[in-house]
Amino acid sequence: MTSDAIIQIEHISRSYAMGDEVVRALRDVSVTIGKNEYIAIMGPSGSGKSTLMNMLGCLDTPSSGSYFFNGVDVRTLSDDELADIRNKEIGFVFQTFNLLPRASALKNVELPLIYAGLSADARRERAIEALTSVGLEARMSHKPNELSGGQRQRVAIARALVTRPSIILADEPTGNLDSKTGQEIMALFQQLWEQGNTVIVVTHEEDIARHTHRIVRLRDGLIESDEPNDAKSL
């Protein structure tokens, strides 16, 4: 295990049974992600990037190979321990926002802290801090249908940040946004990286990947390339 690695995946494969057919979604994939990296995982539909994202987020486990998260072999963990990693160490941001429609921005951001067992006062304080960090201090009482798409995604990012995770894992985070708003969200991810977060963006869009400092490209379940984004890595 590399000392500064937060994630180390070694020779993982993932197969699914689809009727009589076996689909090999990932085939002998190895990748290491260090602390405070800003990385894109790219690939066309069917390349395996969503499967890899599920592995990274401890939402799925490999058919073979090893996954070390902060030096711990994920295969040795119970379902409760995996859930603990998801709740405390990984902040998820989804393309569809996944917000509760009848809850305010503040209540949506507080939600992960309810599962973490924090008091009501502590939850409110942390949620206000997270919403302020994404520029939504004036929109805390608004419900999702009272917010623009970009504001809803900012609420989703604040919700991901509120547990103070090791990693922000964003799945097509600009997919439902216009290009200008998408650029604003990527600028926000850049700020989060500058503040010391590890940021992983899963995308099929080249202009989104260009914001990151390293690009891992998948094709047919294999890593096609893993290279620095030279324009950003200098």
User: What CA–CA distance (Å, rounded) separates 179 from 151?
Assistant: 14
Instruction: Note the pLDDT of residue 2.
Output: 53
Q: What is the mean pLDDT of each run of 10 residues along the chain (234 residues)?
A: 80 91 92 95 92 92 92 91 91 90 96 88 95 94 95 94 93 90 92 93 92 95 92 54
Secondary element (H or E) of residue 149? helix 149-161
On whether the pTM is more than 0.75, the answer is yes
Sheet holding 72-73, edge to edge: 21-34, 5-18, 64-69, 72-73
Report the amino acid identity of residue 46. Answer: G
- C-beta atoms surrounding 20 within 10 Å: 5
| Per-residue pLDDT tens digits for 135-171 | 999 999 999 999 999 999 999 999 999 999 989 999 9
Write down the residue that tokens 């989060």 correspond to.
192
Cα–Cα distance list, 122 to 114, 136, 153 (Å):
10, 19, 23
Q: Which pLDDT score is estimated for 146? A: 97
The values of phi and psi at residue 72, to 5°, are -100, 130
Question: Mind giving me the DSSP string for 152-164?
Answer: HHHHHHHHHHTT-
Domains (range + CATH), the chain? 37-59+78-233 (3.40.50.300)
The pLDDT assigned to 214 comes to: 96
- Predicted confidence (pLDDT) per residue in 85-95, tens digit: 998 899 999 88
